[in-house]
Amino acid sequence: MHRQIAGRLTGSVTKWLVLAFWIVVVAVASGYAAKLTDVQDNQAQSWLPASAESTKALDKLAPFQDENDIPTTVVYYRSSGLTDADLATIADQVGKIQEIEGAKPTPGPDGQPLPPQALIQKSGDGQVAQASVSFNFGSNGWNKLPDAAKEIRKIAEIDGVTVHLAGAGGQAADSAEAFSGLDGKLLGFTVLVVFLILLFTYRSPILWLFPVLSAGVALFTAQGVIYLLAKHAGLTVNGQSQGILTVLVFGAGTDYALLLVARYREELRRHDDRDEAMAYALHRAAPAIIASALTVVLGMLCLVFADLNSTAGLGPVAAIGIGVGLLVMITLLPALLVIFGRWIFWPARPTMGTHEPTSDGVWARVGRRIAVRPRTVWIGTSVVLAACSLGIFALNATGLATEDSYTKEFDSVKGQKMLTAHDLADSGSPVLVVADAARADGVKQALTGIKGIGDPVGPIVKGGVAFFSAPLGSDPTSPEAFATVDRVRASVHAVDGADALVGGGSAITADIEAASAHDNKVIIPLVLLVVMLILMVLLRAILSPLILVATVVLSFGASLGLSALLFKYVLGFAGADASLPLFVFVFLVALGIDYNIFLMTRVREETPARGTRRAALVALGATGGVITSAGLVLAATFLVLGTMPLVAFAEIGIAVALGVLLDTLVVRSVLVTALNLDLGGKVWWPSRLDRGENTVVQEPSPAHRADVPVDA
C-alpha cells in the first residue's frame, strides 16, 4: 500500500506534475520571501511577556514617551580636552541633527523642547562630551536608523575630535550593520558547505545540485509562508530566527535528502527500472524521515509555550521550515532524481546487480570491535561524556553586555566604553519610573541616592501618574545595570500605595534575561516529554526510548560543557545569553534524536529475523555512512553561524555543531550500539519483539550480505 502511494509520486506522469507544482509554488513564494526582512521585529520590548514589569511600565509610560522613540547618544572625545569652541560647535551640530528626518525635540520638565546646549553633558576631566538626541520613525523604525546614523556622522565632524554613536540608536545602527545581508551571507556559506560535503560523500560533480536545489525551494517557500504569518497573523520574526531558519532548512533538509538518495542508490542496484527503484526507496526510507521530521517539528513547537515572545516566535518559524523541507524532500527531490536518471551519479553510476559497499564498510568494522566488550564500551563512553559535561560550570549564561555582544568592536561599543571610562552616565538609556502621583514625593525620595543612578528628574504628572527618569551610570546591558534596576525596584516598591513600576532599556533587558531563565525550566522538560512519547509510539517500547533520550541528554551536557570551556578559555567570550542552553538543547534533542531514529528503526526492522544483537550490527553498518555524512552537513551548516559578527549566533552555531558531531560519531555509533549489544532483546521491553535472542554475536557472511536490504 505504502509502496503504491510512493510509486504514484514518481510515476511517468505524476513526477512531471510534482515538478510543475513546486515551480509554481516557489515562483509565488519567492516574492513574499524577499520581503521577510521588512516584517522583522528586532525591538527588545516586543519580545517581552505581558507579565514582565517593564511591559506593564510601557503602558503607563505612553503619555510621557512614545514607545517608538529611539534615544541616541553622540559621544565626542579630545585627548587634550574639549575647548569652548568645540562645545559651541557641538551645540550647533546638535541643532542640525535635530533637523534630520525622524528626529524629535527633547522635552524638558515643563514639556517645552530643550535647547541644544541643554542636551550636552561634559565629563569631569573635560575630555568627553555627550549629546543626547531622539528619533522616531514609527513602528519598526529601527530599520530606518542606519540612514539617520550616516547623516549624524556627516554632521558630527570636528578636527582632532573623535566621534562615536552610542546609546540605543548607536546599538541599533550597529545591529543593522551586523545583520546587513545576513540571510544572503548565511545562504551563500551554507550552500558552499553543503556542496563540498555532498561532493565528498558521493564523488559526483552533478548529484550535489539536486539536494541543494530542493533545499533552496524549501527555504524560499518557508520564508514566503512565514512572511504572510508575520504580516497578517502576528508571528514574531527577528534577525536571529530568520538566520536560524536558513541554517535549519538547509541542514535538516540536506539530511533528509542524503538518506533518501542513499536508499535510492541502493535500490538502483536491485531494480532495472528507476521509477520502481524510487518507489521502493520512498516506501522504505520515507517513514523514518517523516518520523524524524515530525519529532523536530513537535520539539520546535514546544517553544510556543515560552514566556519570551522571540523564543515563542522561533518555534513556529523553525517548525514551518522543517515541515516544508520534509514535503520538498519526499516529493520534489524524488521527482528530480527520477526525471534525470542514473547519469546524475556519474562517474559511479549504480547499475542493477552491482555490489553494495556499506555491508562491509568502516562502520561494520567498528560494530565488530564494539561487540567484543559492549558493556565496557558504553560505560567508558558514558563516563567520558559525563566528565565533559562538568564544563557547564564554566558557562556564564547571564546575558551579554553591549561591548561583549559582538565578535568585533562596533562604534557603539567604543562610545559606551568611553562614557563609562570618563564617569558619564548614559543619558540616552535612563531608568524610567512611573507611580501614583499622590505618592510622587515618596517615590522621588526613594530614588535619591541609589547606587548606580544619578539624581532623578521629575516628577512630570499626567492623568494621575508621576514620571521620573534617572541617568544610568553603567552600560545599560551590563550585569551592573541589571543590579541597579533590582535596587531601584526594591526601593520604589517599598513606597506604600505608589504602585511604582520600573522600565527603560535596562529593565527591559533584565526582564528578557529573567524570562529566558524561566523558559529554560519550562521548555526543556516539555521537549523531553514530547520526544519520549514520539519514540515510544515509533518503537513500540518503553525502555529503548528512555535509553535514547538519556543518551541525547548526555550528548547535550557534554557539548554544552565543552562549548563553555571553548568560549571562555579559547575564544575569550565574556559570557552567553540566558537563552543559549535552551536553544542548544532544543536543537540537539530535536535534531540529534533523528540519527537515533534512523538507527533504531533499522534495528527494529532487522530484529525479528536476526535478533537484537545481530540487528544492531547490521543497522550500524547499513546506516553508519549516510548518517555520518548527514551529521557532518548539519554540523557544518550550524558552524556557518560562527561567521557572523554576533557572539550569540557564534555560540549557538558552535555548541550545536559540536553536539551534532558528538551525537553522530560517538553517541549514536558507539554508545547506542554498545547498549543494544549489551542489553539485547531487553531494549524492546515491554514488547517481545526479540523472541529468539542470539547470545553470540555473529556477522552475516559475505555471501549473505549481498541479500541484506540496506535502509537509509
* Residues 175-206 pLDDT 10s: 776 666 666 666 677 677 777 777 777 777 88
The backbone torsions φ and ψ at residue 205, rounded to the nearest 5 degrees and listed phi first, read -80, 0
Q: Which residues does residue 470 pair with via DSSP β-bridges, in sequence order?
A: 431
Written as one string, the DSSP assignment of 99-126 is TSTTEEPPB-TTSSBPPGGGGEEE-TTS
Query: What's the pLDDT score for residue 385?
Result: 93
Nine-digit cell at 215?
A: 533545499
Is the pLDDT at 360 greater than 70, yes or no?
no
Residues 256, 634 contacting (CB under 8 angstroms): no
H or E element, residue 74: strand 69-77
**Neighbour count for residue 610 (Cβ, 10 Å):** 21
Whether residue 459 is preceded by a cis peptide bond, meaning omega within 30 degrees of 0, is yes
CATH superfamily of this structure's domain 2-37+181-399+512-705? Multidrug efflux transporter AcrB transmembrane domain (1.20.1640.10)
Query: What's the pLDDT score for residue 383?
Result: 94
Fill in the DSSP letter of residue 647. Answer: H
> pLDDT tens digit string along 504-545?
878 888 888 888 888 888 888 888 888 888 888 888 889 988
H or E element, residue 238: none
Q: Which residues does residue 406 pair with via DSSP β-bridges, in sequence order?
A: 646
Rounded-to-integer distance, Cα 434 and Cα 499, Å = 8
Rounded-to-integer distance, Cα 103 and Cα 97, Å = 7
Rounded-to-integer distance, Cα 176 and Cα 30, Å = 23
Residues 507, 53 contacting (CB under 8 angstroms): yes
Query: What's the pLDDT score for residue 712?
Result: 33
Q: Which residue has the cell 536545489?
A: 213
411-510 has CATH 3.30.1490 classification:
no
H helices, E strands: number in the chain? 24, 9
**Neighbour count for residue 64 (Cβ, 10 Å):** 19
102: left (phi over 0), alpha (psi -120 to 50) or beta: left
Closest CA relative to residue 98, chosen from 76, 114, 86, 121 = 114
Burial of 182 from C-beta contacts in 10 A (0-12 / 13-18 / 19+): buried
Every domain of the chain and the residues it spans: 2-37+181-399+512-705, 68-178, 411-510
Is the pLDDT at 697 greater than 50, yes or no?
no
The backbone torsions φ and ψ at residue 140, rounded to the nearest 5 degrees and listed phi first, read 60, 30
Residues 577, 399 contacting (CB under 8 angstroms): yes
Nine-digit cell at 310?
A: 522571540
- The pLDDT > 70 percentage for the chain reads 88
| Selected residue with higher pLDDT from 687 and 45 | 687
Strands 465-472 and 501-503: unpaired
Rounded-to-integer distance, Cα 467 and Cα 457, Å = 9
> pLDDT tens digit string along 223-244?
888 888 888 877 777 777 777 7
> pLDDT tens digit string along 51-85?
788 888 887 887 777 667 778 888 888 888 888 88
- pLDDT band for position 378 (50/70/90)? very high
| Selected residue with higher pLDDT from 360 and 485 | 485
> pLDDT tens digit string along 602-614?
888 888 888 888 8
Contact partners, residue 27, CB within 8 Å, separation at least 6 = none
Q: Enumerate long-range contacts of 450-454, CB under 8 Å, 24 or more apart.
A: 450/484, 450/487, 450/488, 450/491, 451/484, 451/487, 452/480, 452/481, 452/483, 452/484, 452/487, 453/425, 453/484, 453/488, 454/425
Residues 359, 606 contacting (CB under 8 angstroms): no
What 3-state class would DSSP assign to 296? helix
- pLDDT band for position 45 (50/70/90)? low
- pLDDT band for position 10 (50/70/90)? low
Domains 2-37+181-399+512-705 and 68-178 share a fold: no
Residues 224, 30 contacting (CB under 8 angstroms): yes
Fill in the DSSP letter of residue 459. Answer: E
Query: What's the pLDDT score for residue 568?
Result: 87
Residues 96, 155 contacting (CB under 8 angstroms): yes
Query: What's the pLDDT score for residue 9?
Result: 63
**pTM summary value:** 0.75
Query: What's the pLDDT score for residue 439?
Result: 87
Query: What's the pLDDT score for residue 359?
Result: 56
68-178 has CATH 3.30.70 classification:
yes
Strands 465-472 and 457-462: antiparallel
| Selected residue with higher pLDDT from 23 and 247 | 23
Nine-digit cell at 696?
A: 553470540
Q: What is the 3-state secondary structure (H, E, C) of 391-458?
A: HHHHCCCCCCCHHHCECCCCHHHHHHHHHHHCCCCEEEEEEEEEEEHHHHHHHHHHHCCCCCECCCEE
H or E element, residue 361: none
Is the pLDDT at 488 greater than 80, yes or no?
yes
Average pLDDT, the chain: 80
Is the pLDDT at 24 greater than 90, yes or no?
yes
Biggest alpha carbon distance in the chain?
94
